[in-house]
Amino acid sequence: MKGMKRTIVGNIKLLKLIKPQPGWSSATRDILLSQIKSQCTEIHANTSLFQGARVYLSGYGDTVIRFTLNLLFGRPQNAVCSLLGVSLIAFFASIIANSSLPGEPLYSIKITAETIRSSLVTPDQRAHLEMERADRRLEEMRRLFAHATLSEDEKTEKIGNLVDDFSGNLANVKKTLDSQAPLIEPAKVSKVAALVNQKTEEYDAALSVGTFSGASPAKKQLLDEKLETAKNTSDAASRKALALLVEKKSAGGISEEELLGYLEQKFKHAEEELLLLQRRVSAAGASQMLETGVREKSDRAKKMLDEGKESLAKKDFKIALEKLNLSKDMLFTALQDINKENSLRDADQKDRTNQEAQEEKGTTP
């Protein structure tokens, strides 16, 4: 039995030859160390030695001896995390990882580092980090859009994946606001909510960029659907942020003037969207039924907006926000009706074109 066992064990030990490639090992080491060095500098730049010692003590019940050691031998956090010792390789590796695009070798390291950071910061920082990640996804989309060597189909697919990640980041922002807002002080919540409100407006504009004309119809349609999902997610985060701003105003988290400013801007955008919708349905040569339907909905949306503005004037912010959201819902359904009719019309046109082509060839459908 012992002899048999040795044979088995001998075979098992062959697998000790399984190792990572040396290139990967050293590159990962450099990237990891540079990532943590840069995070270390960022997080600890303003931490005093006293604060560091207090955190060290209060979290984990360390003894007086350790506390004394820390005071005597510890160095200020920002000095320890000085970048003086960073090797050139680590520096460039970090830059390369941070500037990598989907499909490139170091991209997975970049994403991994982002994920870890997001999961280990405080709740009020988490929303910030997720928005930073969303910003990076947008930047990557822009760079992919301008990429010289990728085909339109490849670009569409990669951008589609980035849009998914972007939607995920915004969903996390909303989730963080939902779960953490009751636990954090009103002023901090308002600050985060204000940032979310501002950022989601930028995202709406960025996501309205056109898709690639050269891509295959199926990929184009998929990308359009993903962009629509991303816009909806962004809108959900924006609505949550506004609701929090209204809620925290009563708790002193935000001033009346600031809140009035945010809401007035939202109303202004909603009115612009309403106007665009009305022009769009008129210019598109829409069917009578569609035009009537859209007009009804846009009239109702306009009514909601007017009522909302009256409430805003009376400083009844909660009602104003409700009316704004109802108006936006109405505009959204009207837009969906237009898109639906356009799709049917396009499909119809395509069938007719195919039929004509076949008739010309002399074949029967």
Partner 1 sequence: MTPLVNEKIIVYKIRQGDTDAFGQIYDFYHEKLYRFVYLKLPTAQDAQDITAETFLKAWHYIHDQKHIANVQAFLYQIARNLVVDFYRRRGTAIVESIDDQEIVIADRIDLTLEEKMTLKSDMARVENALRMLKDMYREVIVLHYLNELSLKEVARILGVSTGNVRVIRHRALKALKRMLGEEKES
> Rule CB under 8 A: is residue 85 a binding residue for partner 1?
yes
How near is the Cβ of 171 to partner 1 at its closest, in Å? 15
How near is the Cβ of 6 to partner 1 at its closest, in Å? 7
Please pick, from the candidates 3, 23, 210, 217, the single residue that binds partner 1 as defined by CB under 8 A.
Answer: 3
Report the C-alpha gap between 278 and 275 in whole angstroms.
5
DSSP letters for 156-216: HHHHHHHHHHHHHHHHHHHHHHHHHGGGS-HHHHHHHHHHHHHHHHHHHHHHTS---TTS-
How near is the Cβ of 112 to partner 1 at its closest, in Å? 5
Q: Which amino acid is at 355?
A: Q
- Binding positions for partner 1, 282-341, rule CB under 8 A: none
Q: Which residue lies nearer to partner 1 by CB, 106 or 194?
A: 106
Q: What angle do CA 189, 168, 183 make, to 5 degrees?
A: 25
Dig out the tokens for 286 from the structure. 């829409």
First CA to last CA distance, the chain: 76
Q: Which amino acid is at 106?
A: L
- Contact criterion met (CB below 8 Å) for 88 and 148: no
> Rule CB under 8 A: is residue 218 a binding residue for partner 1?
no
Report the C-alpha gap between 49 and 70 in whole angstroms.
9
Q: Which residue lies nearer to partner 1 by CB, 21 or 363?
A: 21
How near is the Cβ of 165 to partner 1 at its closest, in Å? 14
Q: What angle do CA 135, 140, 141 make, to 5 degrees?
A: 95
**CA count, 13 A, side-chain hemisphere, 99:** 6
Q: Which residue lies nearer to partner 1 by CB, 21 or 364?
A: 21
- Residue window 93-112: x/- pattern of binding to partner 1, with contact defined by CB under 8 A: ---------------xx--x
Please pick, from the candidates 101, 104, 116, 278, the single residue that binds partner 1 as defined by CB under 8 A.
Answer: 116
Report the C-alpha gap between 172 and 160 in whole angstroms.
19
Q: Which of the stretches 28-36, 180-188, 191-199, 286-294 binds partner 1 when contact is defined by CB under 8 A?
A: 28-36
> Rule CB under 8 A: is residue 72 a binding residue for partner 1?
no
Contacts of 194 (CB under 8 A, 6+ apart): 241, 245, 254, 258, 262
**CA count, 13 A, side-chain hemisphere, 223:** 25
Q: Which residue lies nearer to partner 1 by CB, 7 or 208?
A: 7
> Rule CB under 8 A: is residue 45 a binding residue for partner 1?
no
> Rule CB under 8 A: is residue 37 a binding residue for partner 1?
yes
Please pick, from the candidates 48, 51, 115, 353, the single residue that binds partner 1 as defined by CB under 8 A.
Answer: 115
- Contact criterion met (CB below 8 Å) for 138 and 154: no
> Rule CB under 8 A: is residue 134 a binding residue for partner 1?
no
Please pick, from the candidates 33, 89, 260, 319, the single residue that binds partner 1 as defined by CB under 8 A.
Answer: 33
Q: Which residue lies nearer to partner 1 by CB, 15 or 146?
A: 15
> Rule CB under 8 A: is residue 65 a binding residue for partner 1?
no
Which positions touch partner 1 (CB under 8 A)? 1, 3-9, 11-22, 24-25, 28-29, 31-33, 35-37, 40, 44, 55-56, 59-60, 74-75, 77, 80-81, 85, 108-109, 112-113, 115-117, 120
